Amino acid sequence: MRTLKTSEAAAVLNVSPNTLRAWERRFGYPKPQRSPGKHRLYTHGEVAALRDALHEGLSISSAVSRAREALSADTSVLVGALSSFELDRADIAMEAALALRSVERSVEEVLLPSMHDIGQRHGYDSAPWAFAAQWATDWLQRAQRLAPPPLRPAAVLIGDATHDELDVDALAMRALQLFSVRAGARMLVLPVGGVAGLAEVLAAFGPQAVVIAGDTAGDDQVARWAYGVRSAAGALPVTLFRRGSRTDSARTTARVLPDSPGDAHRVLLQMLDGRPRAMTSAAELSLANDERRRVGA
Amino acid sequence: MSARPNLIVLPGHADRPRPEVHFCGHCGRAPEIADIMPASRVCDRCGLGLLLTAPAEAAPSPADPFLLIDGTLSICAVSRLAEGLLHVTETEAVNRHVTDLLVPADAEASGPESLVNLVVHAARGEGETHDVVLRPADQFGIRFWARVGPCGPPRAALLVLADGRA
């Protein structure tokens, strides 16, 4: 994926860098990522789509709307490919998405929304969902194999409390794992049902934080597993990811991560890097998740 | 050379040259160098609108709230002052039907004078500038004297709420 610095993106659009930042505030587009030095990095595809839309637009708003439509075409292509059970086309759709976005945004803006669409259309217990979920899991694993080797000392243990690979939370968990690995963290996923031999594995892995992901395993089972982890690795910060209805701020001291894998991995890395906490309580996270759903709707 | 008089075609009223002005689709102001369309269509004053052209009699002044509507009657732009007047942000209004925001104040007006016809004709680049009386779609008792004329590029209808000026 080709990225542009602010001055380069401004030159492509024939505007000043200040104007580009004003558009980001007013229209939320183009939406830059940040470099390790916290500088804005714009994806060339987004900037080019906006440049083309501006040529034929009557306002910046309508051009932004058009540019967004052009980019959202990737989601339609992926849904179409998976609905017609064409795996090669699905891979091509993700390749097209990657040409315009980072891996993280391709997953969050194309793969996961497409899977949501398929789940809503066919049901999460249907064969088309199972077909699509297996492809998505495979794609996320392939992307993880291409990730650079770990750069951070951070090691995170994920307790898999999802039902199985076809659980919608399992996809989000795999996405969180991918994003964290790409950010340089070491990740290990273990099912919360398996306590035997936990000590040996954790002694070798040396986790610094624990994420309990998924809504299927009961609290008793999770508590037994968490006790096993604590006995083997000591007291570690525990966070909950997509525990849904089981997340009760009154009963747990564990921090709740946002539902979005992208937001969750940022909070997790902030926590591991010892930065100030972005989210401090289950209540705040619940509010943030509600706000996110509202905006998404 | 015959001394007979010749008939020649003279430009008619409709063909008369009409002065056109440039203005920003957000702030309504003219570009800093008024007579030349700059290389970038983005307004060099506010940076939040695109520069457009309209006949002088239709073009808004910087104090006029206005909207731009395309041939499908979808709102394409809402000026800064119109956002305040109609209590809607441009981002919310874009791609909505014009009648979601404004409707003819006279419910029985029809035919060529109706808002829809005026907008469609203006968006085709046809016709003169027309006056029309409108009201907010969800409110009675408020009326705007408005004028509808062509603008572009691309072709669209310009709806200036002339008595809504700040």
In the DSSP assignment, the letter for residue A77 is H
Tracing tokens 């800064």 back to the chain, one arrives at: B80
Determine the pLDDT at residue A251: 60
pLDDT of residue B110: 59
Q: Which domain holds residue A256?
A: 151-295
Tell me: do A120 and A232 sit in the same domain: no
Percent of chain B with pLDDT over 70: 84
Q: Is the peptide bond before B154 cis (omega within 30 degrees of 0)?
A: yes
Report DSSP state, residue A166.
T
Delimit the domains of chain B by residue range: 54-162
Q: Who has greater pLDDT, B33 or A59?
A: A59
pLDDT at B2: 63
| B51-55 and B20-24 beta bridge pairing | antiparallel
Please say if the pLDDT value at position B122 is more than 80. yes
CATH number where A32 lies: 1.10.1660.10
A53 — pLDDT class (breaks 50, 70, 90): confident
Average pLDDT of the residues of chain B: 83
Residues of B in contact with A54 (CB under 8 A): 41-42, 50
Whether the pLDDT of residue A177 is over 90: the answer is yes
Whichever domain contains A276, its CATH number is 3.40.50.2300
The pLDDT, as a whole number, for residue A295 is 44
User: What pLDDT is recorded for position B134?
Assistant: 86
Angle, helices A17-27/A60-83, rounded to nearest 10 degrees: 60
Q: At what angle do helices A112-122 and A60-83 cross, to 10 degrees?
A: 60
Q: How far apart are CA A74 and CA A84, in angstroms?
A: 15
Look at chain A and report how many structural domains it folds into: 2
Please indicate if any CB of chain A lies within 8 Å of the CB of B49. Answer: yes
Q: Does the distance separating the beta carbons of A59 and B76 come in below 8 Å?
A: yes
Residue where one domain finishes, among candidates A83, A110, A143: A143
**Do A178 and A104 reside in the same domain of the chain?**
no
**pLDDT > 90: what percent of chain B?**
27
Tell me if A58 and B50 make a contact (CB, 8 A cut-off). yes
Nearest residue of B to residue A13 by CA position? B40
Reported ipTM: the value is 0.79
Predicted local distance difference test score (pLDDT) of residue A275 = 45
Look up tokens 């008595």; give the residue.
B163
Is residue A191 over pLDDT 70?
A: yes
| Average model confidence (pLDDT) across chain A | 83
* Band (B71; pLDDT cuts 50, 70, 90): confident
Q: Is A286 on the interface with B (CB under 8 A)?
A: no
Pair of tokens at residue B35:
């007579």
For residue A36, which of A165, A166, A184 has the smallest C-alpha distance?
Answer: A184
B92, two tokens? 């919310």
Residue A288 has pLDDT above 50, yes or no: no
Nearest-CA distance from B85 to chain A in Å? 18
Task: Kindly determine whether residue B91 and residue A61, on different chains, have CB atoms separated by under 8 Å.
Answer: yes
Same domain, A19 and A111: yes
pTM greater than 0.90 (yes/no): no
A63 touches chain B (CB under 8 A): yes
| Among chain A residues, CA nearest to B27 | A59
- Max CA pair span of chain A: 65
SS3 state at A36: coil
User: Using one digit for the tens of pLDDT, what is the confidence trace for A71-87?
Assistant: 777 777 888 889 888 88
Higher pLDDT, B110 or A279: B110
Residue A221 has pLDDT above 80, yes or no: yes
**Domain-terminating residue out of A92, A122, A143:** A143
* Range B54-162: architecture per CATH: 2-Layer Sandwich (3.30)
* Residues A238/A242/A248/A251 CA torsion (nearest 10 deg): -20
Integer Cα distance of A41 and A23 in angstroms: 15
Mean pLDDT along residues A137-146: 92
Nearest chain B Cα distance for residue A79, angstroms: 25
Please report the pLDDT score of residue A247 as a whole number. 58
Q: Which residue of B has its CA nearest to A14?
A: B40
Judge whether residue B65 has pLDDT over 60: yes
Q: Given CB atoms, is B26 within the 8 Å cutoff of chain A?
A: yes
Distance CA A226, CA A132 (A): 32
Among the candidates A101, A124, A143, a domain finishes at A143
Question: CA-CA distances (angstroms) from residue B19 to A58, B35, B56, B69, B157?
Answer: 21, 11, 6, 22, 17
Token output for B39? 């290389």
pLDDT at A252: 63
Which tokens go with A55? 């040529």
Identify the pLDDT of residue A131: 94
SS3 A289: helix
Model confidence over A237-252: pLDDT tens digits?
899 998 876 655 556 6
> With bands split at pLDDT 50, 70 and 90, how would you rate the model's confidence at B81?
very high
